[in-house]
Chains A and B, each alone.
Chain A
Amino acid sequence: MANKVSLTVNGRSVQREVEPRTLLATFLREHLGMTGTHIGCDTSQCGCCTVLVDGDAVKSCTMFAFQANGTSITTIEGLASDGRMHPVQAAFQEHHGLQCGFCTSGMVMSIVELVEKYDGLDEASVRELLDGNICRCTGYHNIVKATLAAADVYRSGSAAATHTDTLLRS
């Protein structure tokens, strides 16, 4: 039995039929072919699949696709705009916040929520708030550094000005 879902993904409206058991993560990857969102576990522990659902960071493996009906979703593919990386993406490159890149999409989406919603982030709070995302490569050191740098950009309100030099290469 299929459900009809209709939602916005990265500004594009999409309509599909899905089985009730289809997870949002599977929907994005298999039905929409948006493979930037990754699946790293089957117990909702790793955060690789994190996307923004109406602005909130959500592990897309914890939601059925039909539950996303009517929402607006942002995935890693939709973060850069006007040929420029989002400040969190730019900070990851600047501070070597990624190695293999597999946790990165979910990590970046979680951090986008952090820097947008929290004031006064410091190392300790970032480490607490990021504990839903596992990275096996970086030991988190540079992820924390990148997060604090991106938060600074937000705080100073000069996101666009500071990162105009980070042109997309693809």
Chain B
Amino acid sequence: MGTMTSKRESGTVPNGIGRSVKRTEDARFLLGKGRYTDDLRIPGQAYIYVVRSPHAHANITSLDASEAKSASGVVDVLIGSDYLDDGLGTLPCIWQVRNKNGSVMAEPARYPVAVDRVRYVGDAVAVVIAETLDQAKDAADLIVVEYEPLAAVVAGPDAIMPQAPIVHNDAPGNLCFDWEIGNRAATEDAFSRAHHITRLDVINSRIVPNPMEPRSVVAIYDDIADEYTLHTSTQNPHLVRSLLCKSVLRIPEHKVRVVSADVGGGFGVKCHLYPEEVLLTWAARRCGRPVRWTADRSETFLSDAHARDHVTHGELALDSDGTFLGLRVSTVANLGAYLSTWSASIPTYASAPNLAGQYTTPAIYAEVKGVFTNTVPVDAYRGAGRPEANYIVERLIDAAAREMGLDRVEIRRRNLVPSAAMPYATPLGPVYDSGDFRKCLDMAAGNADYEGLAERKQDALRRGKLLGLGVSCYIEACGVSPSRANGISGGRIGGFEMAEIRFNPDGSATVFSGTHSHGQGHETVFAQIVTDKLGVPFESVMLVQGDTARIAFGHGTVGSRSAAVGGSAIVVAGERIVAKGKRIAAHIMEVDVEDVHFEDGEFRSRGTNKVMTIAEIAHAAYLPINYPLDQMDPGLDEICFYDPTNFTFPNGTQICELEIDPQTGHVELKRFVVADDFGRILNPMIVHGQVHGGIAQGVGQALLETVVYDADSGQLLTGSFMDYAMPRSCDLPSFEVSYHEDSPCTHNPLGVKGCGEAGTIGAATAVMNAVLDAMSSVGVDHMDMPASPSRVWRALRAATSKLPRPTASASATAGNGNQVGNAHGE
């Protein structure tokens, strides 16, 4: 990049880019000194308990809070009619999707507290404010709500049946939108020429993101200044402020400060405006007291946005040698009872444009119906739409390979976009800037010893096990997002990121970023970038994040964007620092600015031996005595709003090997091998960690996690960690992670693509393809997630060939079946 010429190799600067620098943020967490929202103690604080609907669908016929209001310690009880009386607004969706006929989607009102009707179990009906949490809970029991129960609908496909109960009167047929993308005629034509058509119905199960820190909100109102401070566990403080001010409170944004300090995991579920954020801000003003609320885990299940929940039919058209000719996908996406912040965008623009995958499929058409049901709203979760696209594409490919008798890796190889074709425009819009898909596939297949699979299957059979190997090649549009792309697709939000580098007079640097780390290690990685590019010692760089009063603007951390967009903003701000520094240096050194050269933190003038460090320049900028005041302002503080010109496209191959015990249905992961292309790697240690965690979440969906609603009553049956199975240490192997850096992103100054979601996007598919590889050998070729023991065991009852039992000699040596594949760990 222009001004920052450097001849050194990447990875050679101590604590710079490419080094596995240990994390700066670790010490406070390891010492128990994290600063999570629930750790705040505000003088005069009162506690909030939210009373929630026990019905999936009901009219509220009466609500009597009088006894609760006079209970011991109660400050106030607020209900829907109070909210209406105060003239406050509804929670918006920030994406407006259009129907096939060009009309806009249905956007029924979402109040933070039910006004006259509840639409899911967990819908808020009253807010109790009391001196202690126990008093608030006790008083909640005294509120008398009379409900007139209505029929409920919980499954997406049921909601669009003619006789289905209607969730919103202003969304006829429960349809939010009926959307399409792609070239229907060209796709029909491709199918008419096909040698073979593979058809598949899959359910992408509903899951709950469940970061370990439950959501937490503290709201403070200053009646003298008429200002609010909202501490909230969000990934996206500026978004919370904008939506809260514009759509709900209808007050100017400078009156609200949103602070998001340490956040205990996000994974997309904390990037929305939530009803509780609205309710607490409102309650703080109504009561004139700071108020606080933290979800119980059971409340998390009822009030955090859920994820996925697609019912999809897919068809792949192939010619006789396995070349993909066309792809057709039709999905019913369950949106839950209301539109959440991003929800309309997830099954549409965040998902379908990724259907080309890594392949040259020339004709693709997809349609998605978004439907309302009496369930918790559904929104983004790690991968957000891209895991769903990957799942249908990669399952179709495996099914096609089985049907046509082709090798799974070979059929993929045959159809990959070759690296020579980059940049490559897919038929649905995305233009891949770079990537060597074949390289990742070959690396993963080699590391997983794909060649030796048949032998391992035989060995497993002797031990009475069914061994399966699953492949998933993923690609994802990340680095969200070019603002113009948002606008074209109905987004009501920009996609740029802001960074400010403020040098202090002593030469240390404070970086302000609009992204938000809730585990990703930005304090470390962003300091590495500044150290690398500006030569400031790593210890002299500090990151400020998560505070709308300190940071000019931002779009938070979602869509694997922090390095690609937030990091790029830092690089450009750094270039501006260097440009200004050169002019200051030229003045002081009495040379032409063209002769000043910056490298490794020093400004040198060519042809003389004059040199100034960047710290000396910073000092001169704040003590401008010998300074070109007629040409520029004092100070060394530069800001960049970086709007990316394209998405980034992280890609790679994941391979899972597992064994099924047909006696119990238990699936044991033996190995999990991945090869990724994330462009340039800023901190390998952190990247590995992101991949590990991502894989675990994908495996969780594939084998363990699932949301179950009772179809008649609409009750959530999996409402706690007792009945919702989270992946634990004993469910997972160690992971074998590798990457290459040979196809960096071509349109951002760091060459990075992003790594936060990759693990999750491919993992569920790789596991399910492995489960089906194992089961298809005995004639079972369909299964939906999760492949839990009872479901696998039941599915195997339909086996058409004999299930294996351990042979006498094998069972004697099968004692170490629990060993996990650590030998190949990175």
Q: Taking CB as reference atom, which chain B residue is nearest A98? A: B29
- Given A134-B212, A134-B728, does the pair A46, B819 have CB atoms closer than 8 Å? no
**Which segment of A52-60, A62-70, A100-108, A155-163 sits at the interface?**
A100-108
A108 to chain B, nearest CB (A): 7
Residues of B contacting A150 in the complex (Cβ-Cβ under 8 angstroms): none
Q: A34 within 8 Å of B by Cβ? A: yes
B265 adjacent to A94 (CB under 8 Å):
no
In the complex, are the beta carbons of B265 and A136 less than 8 A apart? yes
Contact pattern, A 81-121, Cβ under 8 Å of B = 1, otherwise 0: 00001000100111010111111110010000000000000
**Min C-beta distance of B620 to chain A, whole Å:** 31
Contact with B along A24-60 (1 / 0, CB 8 A): 0000000001111111111101101000000000000
Contact mask for chain A residues 118-157; partner B; CB cutoff 8 A; 1 contact, 0 none: 0000011011101101111111111111000000000000
Q: Are B729 and A99 in contact (CB under 8 A)?
A: no
A17, CB-defined interface residue at 8 Å: no
Q: Is the CB–CB distance between B697 and A136 below 8 Å?
A: yes
Whether B72 sits at the interface, judged by CB under 8 Å, is no
Secondary structure of the A contact surface, majority rule: loop
Q: Are B212 and A135 in contact, with the CB atoms below 8 A? A: yes
Contact with A along B510-526 (1 / 0, CB 8 A): 00000000111100000
A145: chain B residues within 8 A (beta carbon): 734, 825
The stretch from B31-39, B110-118, B478-486, B500-508 touching chain A is B31-39
Residues on A with beta carbons closer than 8 Å to the beta carbon of B686: 96
Question: Count the A residues whose beta carbon is within 8 Å of the partner chain — how many?
Answer: 59
Q: Is B820 an interface residue (CB 8 A)?
A: yes
Question: A102 contacts B734, CB within 8 Å?
Answer: no
Interface size (B, Cβ < 8 Å)?
62
Please state if A102 and B732 are interface contacts (CB–CB under 8 Å).
no
CB distance from B629 to the nearest CB of A (A): 39
A138 touches B298 (CB 8 A): no
- Which chain A positions have C-beta within 8 A of B22? 93-94, 96
A139 touches B695 (CB 8 A): yes
A168 contacts the other chain (CB 8 A): yes
Residues B22-55 near A (CB distance < 8 A): 22-23, 25-34, 36, 38-39, 41
Asked if A93 and B26 make an inter-chain contact with CB atoms under 8 angstroms apart, the answer reads yes
Q: How far, in Å, is B767 (CB) from chain A's closest CB?
A: 13
- In the docked arrangement, what's the CA distance between A46 and B728, Å? 10
CA distance A110 to B695 in the complex (A): 24
**Residue of chain A at shortest CB distance from B520:** A99
Q: Is the CB of B689 within 8 A of A105?
A: no
Question: How far is it, in angstroms, between the C-alpha of A137 and the C-alpha of B520 when the chains are bound?
Answer: 9
Provide the bound-state CA to CA distance between A168 and B722, in Å: 38
Q: Please determine whether B820 and A141 come into contact, CB atoms closer than 8 angstroms.
A: no
- Kindly report which residue of chain B lies nearest to residue A40, judged by CB atoms: B212
Kindly state whether residue A12 has any CB partner on chain B within 8 Å: no
Least distance between B669 CB and chain A CB atoms (Å): 11
B721: contacting residue among A41, A79, A94, CB under 8 A: A41
Looking at the assembled complex, report how far the CB atom of B397 sits from the nearest CB atom of chain A, in whole angstroms: 26
Chain A residues, Cβ within 8 Å of B692? 138-142
Residues of chain B touching chain A, judged by Cβ–Cβ distance below 8 Å, are: 22-23, 25-34, 36, 38-39, 41, 134, 210-214, 262-267, 296-298, 518-521, 685-686, 688-689, 692-697, 720-722, 726-730, 732, 734-735, 759, 818-820, 822, 825
Please give 12 more A-B residue pairs, beta carbons under 8 A apart, in addition to A85-B31, A136-B211. A43-B298, A43-B720, A93-B30, A99-B519, A100-B262, A101-B29, A101-B519, A131-B730, A134-B728, A136-B697, A137-B689, A138-B689
**Interface residues in chain A, defined as those with a beta carbon under 8 Å from any beta carbon in chain B:** 19, 21, 33-43, 45-46, 48, 75-77, 79-80, 85, 89, 92-94, 96, 98-105, 108, 123-124, 126-128, 130-131, 133-145, 168-170
22 pairs, A vs B, C-beta closer than 8 Å: A21-B134, A36-B32, A38-B264, A42-B297, A43-B298, A43-B722, A45-B721, A48-B212, A85-B31, A92-B30, A96-B688, A100-B266, A100-B518, A101-B34, A124-B818, A124-B820, A131-B730, A137-B212, A137-B519, A139-B692, A141-B732, A145-B734
